[in-house]
Amino acid sequence: MYSIIYRSLAKPEFGKSDIYQMLSAARTNNEDLGITGCLLYHNNQFLQLLEGDQNQVTKLYQKILNDSRHSHIVTINERILERPLFVDWSMAFHDFGLNGSSADQKSRKIDLIFQKSNVFEKPSLMALEFFKSVNEILYSAN
């Protein structure tokens, strides 16, 4: 099991309807490829964790790197995992802009997302890195 975490900035013209169309196609594609993960969107920023077969994840990530709908792509971490963190999700997604700016609301939603994952079963460096990145995006002053 291979995993990559990255963050990027959506292009200004890439709106909410575009994001949902992209997400729908990604879920179908990821399910066919056996890729799971989590995609978060907040303040025009994406944070994504992808996991699956190393060859499939690497190919998908190359497509993402060449995708003109976003920029400033930064690889945060990549590593081999013992087991997936988001085993049942072809792509978990949440737009934190829909929850308003309340830190309490954001924290509750993050808790719900991670309760449905394998993150708490066995702590891992990848899960900790993802949590750290989620906090940076959600609670930074933008």
pLDDT at 85: 77
CA distance 76 to 113: 20
pLDDT at 107: 65
pLDDT > 90? residue 6: yes
pLDDT at 97: 59
More confident residue, 108 or 79: 79
pLDDT at 131: 81
Please report which confidence band the pLDDT of residue 42 belongs to, taking 50, 70 and 90 as the band edges.
confident
Kindly report the CATH number that applies to the domain delimited by 2-137.
Answer: 3.30.70.100
pLDDT > 90? residue 60: yes
Q: 38-70 burial string, b = 16+ CB within 10 Å, else e? A: bbbbbeebbbbbbbbeeebbeebbeebeeeeeb
Q: Where are the domains of the chain?
A: 2-137
Choose among 107, 113, 93, 100: nearest CA to 46. Answer: 93
Please report which confidence band the pLDDT of residue 103 belongs to, taking 50, 70 and 90 as the band edges.
low
Q: What is the pTM of this model?
A: 0.79
More confident residue, 23 or 63: 63
